[in-house]
Amino acid sequence: MNQPDVLKDKTMLVTGGTGTFGHKFVEMVLTHHQPTALRIYSRGEKLQHDMSMQFDDSRLRFLIGDVRDKNRLTRAMDDVDIVVHAAALKQVPACEFNPIEAVRTNIEGAVNIIDASLDCGVQKVMAISTDKAVYPVCLYGATKMAAEKLFVHANAYAGGKDTCFSCVRYGNVIGSRGSVIPLFLQQKEKGVLTITDTRMTRFWICIDDGVGFVIKAIGMMKGGEIFVPRIPSMKVTELAEAIAPSAEKRVTGIRPGERLHETLLTEEEARRSVRMQDGFIIEPESMVRKGIHMHQGERLPDGFCYRSDLNEEWLNRKDALHMINGDGIDA
């Protein structure tokens, strides 16, 4: 039986809509769904122009604005049904050296999204998070952890309003800006790939799967959940060998704000999570304490932890190249 189109006849707004996620989200929504309108909210005039040339569709609207500007957000959300919040400063080194800017965009921007959504009566708000929000060791991760908390607990601020807030948390997107893959492809031309630590592992997801999971989560969300996809891991050394097997691999040491392995679901969160076929749902602690489970599914065992080095699913070199090439990157 075909599932109902959760985006049909909806007016949507995507913050950071000209980024990697935004491009693919627009492509998939316009191709496979029937929204009334899709508003792209971002700061870059040139990127918006390029995107408007790429997607010639009357349902698209382009709005210049910054998530730091609540007044502009409120105007942009007028008559919007669904907000997907993907805008962020996400480059780890840039956030480390520009910490106040990271806080203003990733944390204060989240507050503005919440306030504007409540003021405008938006039905659903889905925020895009990252594995770096779990046990954060860098400022970027710390700001995304704070943003997650804000969106989960924003449901209490909604009171009797219909607005609900949830998050999707996933790992590294293959080919996205800031990913190590474009760096490796660039370094391949010079014959030397830099690896910070040979033990390092990461979760990987292709952008199509990431967008598809977000759309599914929008249909399932009731407010306060964090949705986590089940995705494969890979050692960074294996990724380097897949992309440039004949190149020299030079170990440079871990950078500030970097860690060996990533976690998508902690032991503490597992006690209030359910397993679905393609992921996990972390239910809000406030509901679980009352004995209320929002979703049906298999409860996770004590001690369960979803970490990149403990994953049951791993990418081999062939699969990794297939995923990279599937995103249009010539490896």
For residue range 99-135, list pLDDT tens digits in order.
999 999 999 999 999 999 999 999 999 999 999 999 9
Q: What is the pLDDT of residue 1?
A: 43
Write down the residue that tokens 């976690």 correspond to.
Answer: 263
pLDDT of residue 290: 72
259 inside domain: no
Rounded distance between C-alpha atoms, residue 56 and residue 50, angstroms: 11
Domain boundaries, position 101:
11-170+206-230+264-301
Query: 242 in a domain, yes or no?
Result: no
Give me the helix-helix angle, 20-32 and 45-54, nearest 10°.
Answer: 30
Residue in 24, 70, 124, 132 annotated catalytic: 132
Give the tens place of pLDDT for each residue, 125-144. Answer: 999 999 999 999 999 999 99
User: Does some domain include residue 329?
Assistant: no
Q: What percent of the chain has pLDDT over 90?
A: 77
Give the model confidence (pLDDT) of 16-59 as tens digits: 999 999 999 999 999 999 999 999 999 999 999 999 999 989 99
Higher-pLDDT residue of 171, 270: 270
Q: Does residue 291 lie within any of the structural domains?
A: yes
- Interval 61-100: pLDDT, tens: 999 999 999 999 999 999 999 999 999 998 888 999 999 9
Name the CA dihedral angle for 244, 249, 253, 256, rounded to a multiple of 10 degrees: -20
| Rounded Cα distance, 248 and 53, in Å | 40
Query: Has residue 249 been placed in a domain?
Result: no
**Region 141-158: what's the mean pLDDT?**
95
Is residue 190 in some structural domain? no
Q: Which of 136, 161, 156, 155 is nearest to 146 (CA)?
A: 136
Query: What per-residue confidence (pLDDT) applies to 177?
Result: 67
pLDDT on residue 87 = 96
How many folded domains does the chain comprise? 1
- Whose CA is closest to 174, among 141, 202, 145? 202
pLDDT at 327: 45
Answer for the pair 127, 117: CB distance below 8 angstroms, yes or no: no
| CATH number of the CATH domain containing 154 | 3.40.50.720
| 66 in any annotated domain | yes
pLDDT bracket for residue 329 (50, 70, 90): very low
Per the annotation, the verdict on 161 as an active-site residue is no
Residue 325 lies in a domain: no
Task: Calculate mean pLDDT across residues 210-225.
Answer: 96
